[in-house]
Structure 1
Amino acid sequence: MPSHPVAETVASLMPRAKEELAELVAFQSVADFDQFPRSESEGAARWIADALSAEGFTDVRLLDTPDGTQSVYGHLPGPEGAKTVLLYAHYDVQPPLDESAWTTAPFELTERDGRWYGRGAADCKGGLIMHLLALRALKAADGVPVAVKVIAEGSEEQGTGGLERYAEEHPELLAADAVVIGDTGNFRVGLPTVTATLRGMTMLRVEVDTLEGNLHSGQFGGAAPDALAALIRALDSLRAEDGSTTVDGLPGDGVWDGLQYDEEQFRADAKVLDGVRLTGSGTVADRIWARPAVTVIGIDCPPVVGATPSVQAGARALVSLRVPPGVDAGEATKLLQVHLEAHTPWGARLRVQQVGQGQPFRADTDSPAYRAMAEAMAVAYPGERMQYAGQGGSIPLCNTLATLYPKAEILLIGLSEPEAQIHAVDESVSPEELERLSITEALFLRGYAAG
């Protein structure tokens, strides 16, 4: 670690940070209340509110957002005339998927091979701890030189837009000169990276019906229209032969001109099996940061075990479409729906319901805040220069903030580097990255205040 008073303070706080992250990870705060208790999310929100109060935040609130979840807000006043910086993270997490596939329990922070494992350790409960570490390091030195607002979202992973709508209804609440979104990650461990673009997303529930009820495949198969087969045909139309996303009317030839992603490194990061080809064309960076990408993230059909010889009367799927900056997510939603309608065979009845949406984002990397971040990263990562990368995922709040506060400078950093395996089994965080990025954020706040 760098030799610097702030770095020394952060290092001394790391044992406490691990204990606190363990407490946060223990909450099963998945904002799908049909499957996970609402009390788990509410408990995580209260934990964050208590932590902010303990750090001297004078205005701490639990915000009931329109999607039925809670976000946590806190305000720490700064010196007179100081700039205001908004620090963002989210405490809701993805479901653990197959809990039996985890090496250790998903909601129990466990140290193994130099990393801390647990759902949300990197995405994004670790981001909240990063913010706390940075503020504590500054308080232990000569104080926090800016006014600070913290917003911890409770439904980012669900894409249900609760915090975005709340912010639009209370536009003064999150106003700031700069915003640090702690929900992305370095390109790789040890390479300081800010995320300059985010793909937006839309999510559709697609249902296909063909019959009044299932039929015996021996008696009716061959002429009776199979709803599951119709759904598969419609979904298959969303991919070209090379695996590229093909939605009628949606451009798919974007080019990324920033940091490139070596194909062999990507195969290793994505754990692609030997002999399996990557999908799409162009560079890896083109495909994951500059072009649309469709994914069938769920499908309802009979399981193999217990299946009967039946022609299916109905089937449904959940389809996600990621869209790059320059593409409106609402327009992409319309194009996706029209495409599915046009490619559903045999006159099968199609119903489409939108269940989530977020706009893409592009940052202004020429701003003073980015210069302050570059200087901070150079100290926290000796011998390295700040890099610019894209992010295939979306953070819906970014565009809301950019619209509400067009003069605010928005920066995206975080702990979700490739080894973190966010959204997958065995998610983890690198404690070294947590330490270095906490140093970075503290030095950024100091440098931004002085700039």
Structure 2
Amino acid sequence: MTDQPISTPPAELAEAVTAVLPGARTDLEALVRIPSIWADPAHADDTRRSADAVAELARDAGAAEVRVIAAEGGAPAVVAHWPGPEGTPTVMLYAHHDVQPTGGDEHWTSPPFEPTERDGRLYGRGAADDKAGVMTHLAVLRAYGGTPPVGVVLFIEGEEESGSPTLTALLAEHHASLAADVIVIADAANPAVDVPALTTSLRGLVDVVVEVSMLERPVHSGVYGGPIGDALTALCRILATLHDDKGEVAVPGLVHGSSDAPDPDETTYRTDAGLLDGVELLGSGSIPERVNVKPAVAVLGIDAPRVAEASNVLLPRARAMVSMRLAPGEDAVQAQQALAEHLERNVPWGAHVTVTPGTGVAEPFSLSATGEVYDHARAAFASAYGNSAVETGIGGSIPFIAEFARTFPGAAVLVTGVGDPASRWHGIDESLHLGMFGRSVLAEALLLHRLAGNG
């Protein structure tokens, strides 16, 4: 692959994008103020309000048709259409309007649902993930005055942060109205605010709940402690077998990939993660390999008494949720089974163990970014950012991307970014770099321009 030459954007299009950015930011702030946490039933009405707000913005951007749709039991999504000139391709622009829980409002520097600018960044839950993606698409359509040079289907999902459980049903029911030649997914990240990326691989995700039982009931630790063990200690011993002494995942039979991507500066990487002084990085290989193309295991929660509620008894049972990220090329169901079998094999002291697979299975995904559409994307992004686009993997999981690829096998899938390493997606003080937001709008506008045959 060779770098695309970096050209100057068409003056009229660049000016149109600049003109719509202030209004796009205002509307982004309004969306951030809506706590659309679909995963929390208390915010179901907020999520519906968020969908209605997006639908109204689509109407204002000149959509010929706008619908708010939902599968049974699912979150509201928005579908809108802008017909293109005859003979031009149809492009789906995807983002999602639901957001993660805040992780505790008290931990934020400013209130999570009150957008606040500091040092050129807009802080707030969803400011980057993924209401910036929503407004990137809408700003592009505004820059074209509601008449884009290609056909556009806007699809704004409402339950991505919950694993898109009803997306398959939505795609099946609305297949004809969502069909597209190109799918642009604005739900990834760039390696820097001035370096665009095309995401070409994503890790998969599975989880299990492991429950250990040792006693029929709690018993006094002074009377029985010694010969009688407790379930929490047994559970800890099982969980300790998930990694070796270097922190490598010890579950056998998993796929491990390799990467020639350069290492980031380790000090910056540690600082971005908030790693404490003296704490070691886990595993081996380059950081891109460990993050993007190797498995990772984490214990996400344990059911056991809190310290303040503990008493001198031996616990009869304890359980934990174990999550595992999967390298591209892995089979998620087989990997989940391998994790379950590993836990079952490593039970100490004859304890009883039950491993229950989670239902949120996300397959890993990879693509080959070759062909005319990807060449157009590289040229558009290089022109908007002033730097050539890089191909990168992401350690996170976006289950719906594989679903789109299966449902629309002839479409070229572009996974683009509206975040950067400092965006803290899913974390405290999530933020969007406003300069990068402007570049992302221009890049997408240029992409539609080129897909219409103007490149």
The question of whether the paired residues in 1 share the 8 Å contact of 2:39 and 2:161 is answered with no
Q: How many residues align?
A: 446
1:87 aligned counterpart, secondary structure: strand
Q: Paired residue for 1:177?
A: 181
Q: Paired residue for 2:96?
A: 90
The question of whether the paired residues in 2 share the 8 Å contact of 1:97 and 1:425 is answered with yes
| Separation in structure 1 between the aligned mates of residue 45 and residue 220 of structure 2, nearest angstrom | 45
| Separation in structure 2 between the aligned mates of residue 195 and residue 239 of structure 1, nearest angstrom | 28
The question of whether the paired residues in 2 share the 8 Å contact of 1:373 and 1:444 is answered with yes
Which of 10, 18, 32 is the aligned partner of 2:17?
Answer: 10
**Does the C-alpha gap of structure 1 residues 328 and 353 become closer, same or farther in structure 2, counting only changes over 3 Å?**
closer
Question: Counterparts in 2 of 1:305-316, with a 5 A limit?
Answer: 305-316=308-319
Cα deviation code 1:411-451 (max 9, x no counterpart): 11122211001111100111111110000000001111216
1:418 aligned counterpart, secondary structure: coil
Q: Paired residue for 1:349?
A: 353
Q: Paired residue for 1:294?
A: 297
Which of 387, 402, 405 is the aligned partner of 2:405?
Answer: 402
2:299 aligned counterpart, secondary structure: strand
The question of whether the paired residues in 2 share the 8 Å contact of 1:205 and 1:316 is answered with yes
Question: Counterparts in 2 of 1:11-90, with a 5 A limit?
Answer: 11-34=18-41, 36-90=42-96
Structure 2 counterpart of 1:28, which letter?
P
Q: How far does residue 92 in structure 1 lie from its aligned partner after superposition?
A: 1.4
Which of 160, 165, 170 is the aligned partner of 1:161?
Answer: 165
The question of whether the paired residues in 1 share the 8 Å contact of 2:205 and 2:326 is answered with yes
Q: How far does residue 170 in structure 1 lie from its aligned partner after superposition?
A: 4.1
Which of 109, 113, 136 is the aligned partner of 2:142?
Answer: 136
Structure 1 counterpart of 2:36, which letter?
S
The question of whether the paired residues in 2 share the 8 Å contact of 1:363 and 1:411 is answered with no
| Separation in structure 2 between the aligned mates of residue 332 and residue 308 of structure 1, nearest angstrom | 38
**Is it true that 1:152 corresponds to 2:156 in the alignment?**
yes
After TM superposition, the runs of 4+ consecutive aligned structure 1 residues lying more than 4 A away are none
Q: How far does residue 80 in structure 1 lie from its aligned partner after superposition?
A: 1.6
TM-score (structure 2 length as normaliser): 0.93
| Separation in structure 2 between the aligned mates of residue 23 and residue 214 of structure 1, nearest angstrom | 52
| Separation in structure 2 between the aligned mates of residue 306 and residue 72 of structure 1, nearest angstrom | 46
Q: Paired residue for 2:383?
A: 379
Q: How far does residue 212 in structure 1 lie from its aligned partner after superposition?
A: 3.0
Cα deviation code 1:113-152 (max 9, x no counterpart): 2211011111111110111111111227xx4111111111
The question of whether the paired residues in 2 share the 8 Å contact of 1:75 and 1:150 is answered with yes
Cα deviation code 1:278-325 (max 9, x no counterpart): 101011111111111112222222222232222222222222211121
The question of whether the paired residues in 2 share the 8 Å contact of 1:106 and 1:426 is answered with yes
**Does the C-alpha gap of structure 1 residues 33 and 276 become closer, same or farther in structure 2, counting only changes over 3 Å?**
closer
1:372 aligned counterpart, secondary structure: helix
| Separation in structure 2 between the aligned mates of residue 341 and residue 324 of structure 1, nearest angstrom | 23
The question of whether the paired residues in 2 share the 8 Å contact of 1:86 and 1:151 is answered with yes
| Separation in structure 2 between the aligned mates of residue 166 and residue 224 of structure 1, nearest angstrom | 53
| Separation in structure 2 between the aligned mates of residue 81 and residue 251 of structure 1, nearest angstrom | 43
Question: Counterparts in 2 of 1:89-238, with a 5 A limit?
Answer: 89-139=95-145, 143-238=147-242
Structure 2 counterpart of 1:362, which letter?
S
Q: Paired residue for 2:251?
A: 247
TM-score (structure 1 length as normaliser): 0.94
Structure 2 counterpart of 1:147, which letter?
G
Q: How far does residue 375 in structure 1 lie from its aligned partner after superposition?
A: 1.0
Q: Sequence identity of aligned pairs in percent?
A: 40
**Does the C-alpha gap of structure 1 residues 171 and 342 become closer, same or farther in structure 2, counting only changes over 3 Å?**
farther
Cα deviation code 1:332-379 (max 9, x no counterpart): 111112222222333323241413121111122112111111111122
1:340 aligned counterpart, secondary structure: helix
Q: Which runs of 5+ in 1 are unaligned?
A: none
| Separation in structure 1 between the aligned mates of residue 39 and residue 303 of structure 2, nearest angstrom | 18
Structure 2 counterpart of 1:350, which letter?
T
Cα deviation code 1:93-126 (max 9, x no counterpart): 1111122111111111111122110111111111
Q: How far does residue 237 in structure 1 lie from its aligned partner after superposition?
A: 1.4
The question of whether the paired residues in 2 share the 8 Å contact of 1:227 and 1:348 is answered with no
Structure 2 counterpart of 1:71, which letter?
A
The question of whether the paired residues in 2 share the 8 Å contact of 1:344 and 1:350 is answered with no
Q: Paired residue for 1:283?
A: 286
The question of whether the paired residues in 2 share the 8 Å contact of 1:259 and 1:387 is answered with no
The question of whether the paired residues in 2 share the 8 Å contact of 1:160 and 1:357 is answered with no
Structure 2 counterpart of 1:281, which letter?
S
**Does the C-alpha gap of structure 1 residues 367 and 260 become closer, same or farther in structure 2, counting only changes over 3 Å?**
farther
Structure 2 counterpart of 1:39, which letter?
D
| Separation in structure 2 between the aligned mates of residue 263 and residue 195 of structure 1, nearest angstrom | 22
The question of whether the paired residues in 1 share the 8 Å contact of 2:71 and 2:169 is answered with yes
1:356 aligned counterpart, secondary structure: coil
Question: Counterparts in 2 of 1:413-428, with a 5 A limit?
Answer: 413-428=416-431
Identify the range of structure 1 (254-263 vs 116-125) with the bigger mean alpha-carbon deviation: 254-263
Structure 1 counterpart of 2:360, which letter?
G
Identify the range of structure 1 (420-429 vs 373-382) with the bigger mean alpha-carbon deviation: 373-382
| Separation in structure 1 between the aligned mates of residue 317 and residue 326 of structure 2, nearest angstrom | 29
Q: How far does residue 392 in structure 1 lie from its aligned partner after superposition?
A: 0.6
The question of whether the paired residues in 1 share the 8 Å contact of 2:94 and 2:185 is answered with yes
Calculate the aligned-residue CA RMSD, in Å. Answer: 2.0
Q: How far does residue 89 in structure 1 lie from its aligned partner after superposition?
A: 0.7
**Does the C-alpha gap of structure 1 residues 214 and 317 become closer, same or farther in structure 2, counting only changes over 3 Å?**
same
Q: Which runs of 5+ in 2 are unaligned?
A: 1-7
Which of 362, 368, 390 is the aligned partner of 2:372?
Answer: 368
